[in-house]
Structure 1
C-alpha cells in the first residue's frame, strides 16, 4: 500500500510533515535516484532508496513501527519546542533518544508552568488525543494568590 512520502519520512523521525514538505520542495529528497516532488507516494518495498541531502534513510511500514508513549514531568523553565533560537532548555533535550522515530508532544505547557506531559512516537495517536472533536477530558490544578470570587472563576 502506498503512502505519502512526507508521512513516511515524518514517521521515521526525520522531521514533522511540514518540515519534510519543505525539504521536498527544496529538492533535498530523492526516491530511487529521482528528485521527489510534493504529493509523491511511495510503497515500502525491499530495495527502496530514499535519501535526504544525499544520506540514505531507513524507513519501515507503519505496521512495523512500535508505538511508544512516555509520561514526563515538565519543570518550570523548560520550553515545549524542539529547538529554541535563544538556547533555552527544552523538554526534548531531556527525553530518551530514539533511532528511527521521534517524540511528539501531546499538548504543551507554558515555560513558567510545571506538570505532566505525554509524548508518543505515533502522530495519529497524538492527534486523536489533542483534537477537540475527541473530547478527551483534561484536568488542571492551579495555585492562585489572593481570593477568587465567582465572577473571577467564570472568567477563567
Structure 2
C-alpha cells in the first residue's frame, strides 16, 4: 500500500483510490461495501492510516499514482452509474477502451440529457468541480415543444421555487422561440426539467455544451477525449478563484 503520511477520513481515502467522488464513497460505506483490516465499516469519517488494508467490494484498493481526466459526449439514453438494475446502457461503458483504471463520472447528466460529461479517478478534482462554492459554469441548450415565455426565464434568473426547491440560473440567451441557452453554476438534480415542467412546458431535449472552460465542440456523440494538463489546471484554477471570490458572501 502507498504510504499515508497522515490519517485520512475513509471516504477521502477511497476517493483518492478512484473508487468514486467523496459523496459517492460515503454512500458505499453506508451500504456496507467497504472494510478496513477485514472488518466492515459503516461510518463515513472513520480514519485510516498507513498499514491499514482497505477493501471495496472485497477487493483491496490503493491510492492512484496517475490521475486520468476524460471528456465524454454522452448520448441521451445512457445512465450515469457504474451499474443499473434495469439494465439500461451505462455512460461509463463508452470509455471501455480509454484506460484500464477505475473511473467515475464528475457530477451527472440524467438519463435523457446528452452532452459534455467528465470522468476521472481523482476524487479531489471531482469534489472541486461539483461543490456549489466552486461556481463552475455549465451551459445547456434547452429545446421545448412550445414557445418559452420570456417571463419564465426572467423569474428563473431572479430565483424560482418549485415544490419547495429553489433554483436560479446565471444567464440565458434565446436562440429562437423554442430554444434557449442556459448557464447554471450549481445544477441541482433535474433542475431544468423541474423548472420547465412546473409551467407545463414539455422538453424535447437538454444538451450540455460546456463545463467551465471546456466546450463540447468537435466531439461526436458517444466519443471521448482526454483533457490536457493545461485544461485540467485551468478548470482547477478557475474553481479555486471562484471559491476565493465568493468566500464570506451570503448563500443565494
Structure 2: give runs of 5+ residues left out of the alignment.
1-5, 157-252
Q: Match for 2:48 among 23, 42, 49?
A: 42
Structure 1 gap segments, 5+ residues each: none
DSSP-derived class of the 2:70 partner: strand
Structure 2 CA distance for aligned equivalents of residues 55 and 138 of structure 1: 37
Which TM-score applies when normalising by structure 2?
0.47
The CA deviation at 1:91 is: 0.8
Aligned pair partner of 1:19 in 12, 28, 33: 28
* Deviation of the 1:21 alpha carbon: 4.2
TM-score for both structures, normalised by structure 1: 0.71
Query: Which residue pairs with 1:98 in the alignment?
Result: 100
Give deviations 1:25-76, integer Å, cap 9, x for gaps: xxx6242xx63654542323xxx3616489562423xxx6322110001011
Stretch of structure 1 that moved more, 90-99 or 106-115: 90-99
Paired residues, number: 143
**Residues 130 and 30 (structure 1 numbering): CA distance in 2 closer, same or farther, change over 3 Å?**
closer
Worse overlay, 35-44 or 132-141: 35-44
- Structure 1 residue 139: deviation in Å? 1.1
Question: How large is the Cα RMSD of the aligned pairs?
Answer: 3.0
Extract structure 1 runs of 4+ deviating beyond 6 A: none
Go from structure 1 to structure 2 and tell me whether the alpha carbon gap of 1:82 and 1:2 turns closer, same or farther (over 3 Å shift).
same
Say yes or no: does 1:142 pair with 2:146: no
Quickly say closer, same or farther: Cα 1:145–1:126, change in 2 above 3 A. Answer: same
